[in-house]
Structures are given as C-alpha cells and as structure tokens.
Amino acid sequence: MEICIEMVQRLINEQYPEFMGLNIKPVEKSGHDNRTFHLGKDMIIRLPSGKDYAMQAKKENQWLLYLAKHLSLPISRPLYLGKETEYYPYPWSILSYLEGETLTYDNIENQEMFAVELRKFLDELQQIPCENGPVAGEHNFYRGGNLKVYNHETVEALNTLSNNINNAKLLDLWYLALASNEQIKNVWVHGDVAPGNLLIKNGHLCAVIDFGILGVGDPACDYAMAWTFFDSQSRKVFLKGLSQEMRNRAMGWALWKALITYESDEEERRVNARYTITQIEKDYE
C-alpha cells in the first residue's frame, strides 16, 4: 500500500480537523513497519505499512505512557489514536516529536560511553513491572520469545549462502544459541534496538523511539546490537554482567538477522549483515 502525503492529509482533515493547517512532510528516515510523517513541529504521524503491523499503534497507545513514567530517557509518547477507514484499513497514531539524530558512528562521543548509556536504558526498561503486558508472540514477531521459531529460516539462509560464508561454523553457533537456555523471569522487551530507533544529541543517547514490536519475555533480542553495531571493547561494556547463555541467545538474534539480510536489495543492510557476521566470528573464535 502506498502511503502518501495526500492520504495522511485526508486522515488528519477527517479525524483531527484541529490539525489540518499544520504542515505534513515525511521524516528523513522512515522505518519498514511504519511510514512516519512530521505533523507541524511538535508531533509525528505513524501509519502501519501493512496488516502484519496493524496492531502496533494500539499497543503503543496502551503501554508507552506507563513505561515513560519509569524511564529516565524520553521515549515516544502517544497523543491520539486514529481510526481505520475504507481507504486506510489500520489504526494509526499521532505521537510527540522527539529531537535528536538517529545513531551513527559519527554522532556519538565514543562507543564505550554509548554502550553504558544504552545498557542503562535497557536495565531500567527491564525493571518496570510487566504484569499483563503483551507476551511475546506473533504480534511482535516473537521478539522476547524462543529463537527456535526462526530455525528453518536461519538454516535455509545458511544453505543458500554456503559459498559466501563459513557455513559450518555459523551453523554451530546457531545451534549453540538455540541450546543456551536458562530460567529467567519475563521482562519488557523493546524488540527493535537498532540505530534508527536511538536518538543522539550532543554525542549522547537522548531518546528511544519506535516501540511497535514491544513485548514481554526474554530480553536477549535487545542485546543483538553487541554485534550489529559495537566493536569488541564496547561490546564487552554493553554485555557486562550478563550470563553466557543470555549472550549466546543475543548472538543468535544478531546472526539470524544478518543471515536473512546478507543479500538484501538495500546496500546498508548488506553491509551491516557482513559486519555482524565478522564480529560474531571474531567473538566466538
């Protein structure tokens, strides 16, 4: 479905006419699950890009204000929940706009400091009571759930890429991740801790956005950035104090994503997939 400015303007005019005079324009970097637009200077509009993401707006509307009360960093704050229509069939949302640049290697003071800041955010998130929260499952692509749900996809990708990568070693690492079980309590899981959802100001983490695949479960997936972004030293800082089983499962999440995007049509994804696999292989020599 093409989500264009004209459609967004029509939704605003019909459902929130008090905002119809505000300028609407696409954000510089919009995600895959949602199309995002500026609404004036202080708000953004998020519209799920397909039926697989249709329930994200309602979930964020239900839980983000609750989470925000317990976090020291700003997060996305829902303001209004738009209704589905005959021409746009999903709930959509208006949220407060948070200032900051999306994370790059160039806009942080240093990786180790950023690792400390991101880890602090995740620690705070996991300490928030999560009773009655949305348990990991199909609604959030099993983030916080068992990695085994992606076993077939991962093994298939390994077989397809056998001429380009160390298939045997990576398969062993995948099975290591699957076997790394432990008894842990369920906690809040952001589910998509990635540079596009981490905002930077003056060299430091200043906000976290896009909680569309929020859930409750095993937080291992939220540590995948240890290999998708960090270098070896900052990775140690980021993972400090975690059990080896947790680290292995986190590695598994990073490995799965790298393998299925290794031959992506998007250059940025291909480059990151190769970086991730290189970092995993170095870390598990």
| Confidence at residue 29, expressed as pLDDT on a 0 to 100 scale | 78
**How far apart are the C-alpha atoms of 12 and 39, rounded to whole Å?**
9
**How far apart are the C-alpha atoms of 147 and 75, rounded to whole Å?**
27
Query: Which H helix or E strand runs over 152?
Result: helix 151-160
Helix, strand, coil percent values for the chain (each to nearest 5): 45, 15, 40
CATH architecture of the domain formed by 101-283: Alpha-Beta Complex (3.90)
Grade residue 77 by pLDDT with cuts at 50, 70 and 90: very high
The pLDDT mean for the chain works out to: 96
Residue 248: is its pLDDT beyond 90? yes
**How far apart are the C-alpha atoms of 152 and 96, rounded to whole Å?**
39
How confident is the model over 107-143, as pLDDT tens digits? 999 999 999 999 999 999 999 999 999 999 999 999 9
- E strands within 90-242? 92-96, 101-102, 187-189, 198-201, 204-208, 215-217
Q: Quick one: which of 199, 197, 244, 249 has its CA closest to 224?
A: 249
Close Cβ partners of 58 (under 8 Å, ≥ 6 residues apart): 81, 91
**How far apart are the C-alpha atoms of 192 and 210, rounded to whole Å?**
8
The domain limits of the chain are 5-96, 101-283
Beta-bridge partner residues of 208: 75, 198
Q: Are strands 24-26 and 187-189 parallel, antiparallel or unpaired?
A: unpaired
Structure tokens at 258: 């790298």
119 and 240 Cβ atoms separated by less than 8 Å: yes
Q: Which fold has domain 5-96?
A: Phosphorylase Kinase; domain 1 (3.30.200)
Residue 31: is its pLDDT beyond 90? no
What secondary structure does DSSP assign to 36-90, as a single string? EEEETTTEEEEEESSGGGTTHHHHHHHHHHHHHTT-SS-B--EEEEEPP-SSS-S
Coil/strand/helix, residue 132: coil
Q: Quick one: which of 280, 274, 272, 173 has its CA closest to 229?
A: 272
**How far apart are the C-alpha atoms of 262 and 75, rounded to whole Å?**
31
Residue 211: is its pLDDT beyond 80? yes
| Confidence at residue 163, expressed as pLDDT on a 0 to 100 scale | 82
Residue 30: is its pLDDT beyond 80? no
Least confident of 17-26, 71-80, 162-171, 269-278: 162-171
How confident is the model over 139-193, as pLDDT tens digits? 999 999 999 999 999 999 999 998 889 999 999 999 999 999 999 999 999 999 9
